[in-house]
Chains A and B, each alone.
Chain A
Amino acid sequence: EAQVTQNPRYLITVTGKKLTVTCSQNMNHEYMSWYRQDPGLGLRQIYYSMNVEVTDKGDVPEGYKVSRKEKRNFPLILESPSPNQTSLYFCASRPGTGGGETQYFGPGTRLLVL
């Protein structure tokens, strides 16, 4: 089944404890992206990747890191999480870099930073 998977689905951590949220897609998509969803704000893009080893900042990149060493994986790293990073996170992918292409979303990771 074609899908985007994320792990973990739920995570509670404390301020300053490094964490990684994994994202993997099995559709051979070139483009991958991370979003955070907050009430009343919709989804905002954190980082995106046009291809392996090519990443760039989205609208809200502060406090996050990403890497794209393999085409299928795009982990999101929080080096020193803070309470304002408590949010619902979505990974997404799409076939290429065309603006009209459909993005496919993972199930989401709900993060609580105490």
Chain B
Amino acid sequence: AQSVTQLDSQVPVFEEAPVELRCNYSSSVSVYLFWYVQYPNQGLQLLLKYLSGSTLVKGINGFEAEFNKSQTSFHLRKPSVHISDTAEYFCAVSGDTGRRALTFGSGTRLQVQP
């Protein structure tokens, strides 16, 4: 079985400040890790994913995430946020087999304030 914990349900931050959204996972098998973003009234869009290789993954819109196997974490970071980054962010994990697809965390709402 696999699970995902997003430690913060809401993260308020000022525009141009750095941000980190935390994600921890548990799994008994090798995993693939994803971050998705959901803008208001829209579906989910892939930000980035980790499959293998370099533990630092760069995604769209200036986001990056670091896979840490020993701490079972996959935290998402951005050095300087914009108002347009206001959205809900979901961390997700998938196992090798792919049958059951993604297990999602409960989401983190990023609120960027001017």
Interface assignment of A74: CB less than 8 Å from any CB of chain B:
no
Instruction: Give the size of the chain A interface in residues (CB under 8 angstroms).
Output: 30
Per the bound structure, the CA–CA distance linking A94 and B99 in Å amounts to 12
Contact residues of B between 22 and 63, Cβ < 8 Å to A: 31-32, 34, 36, 41-46, 49, 51
Interface assignment of A56: CB less than 8 Å from any CB of chain B:
yes
Q: Which of A43, A48, A96, A97 meets B104, CB within 8 Å? A: A43
Which of B31, B101, B104: most chain A CB closer than 10 A?
A: B101
> Quick one: closest B residue to A56, CB to CB?
B99
Instruction: Give the size of the chain B interface in residues (CB under 8 angstroms).
Output: 29
> Quick one: closest A residue to B93, CB to CB?
A99
Interface assignment of B68: CB less than 8 Å from any CB of chain A:
no
- Are A99 and B95 interface neighbours, CB within 8 A? yes
Interface 9-mer from A14-22, A64-72, A79-87, A102-110: A102-110
- Are A105 and B100 interface neighbours, CB within 8 A? no
- A: residues with CB less than 8 A from B are 4, 31, 33, 35, 40-45, 48, 50, 56, 58-59, 90, 92, 94, 96-103, 105-108
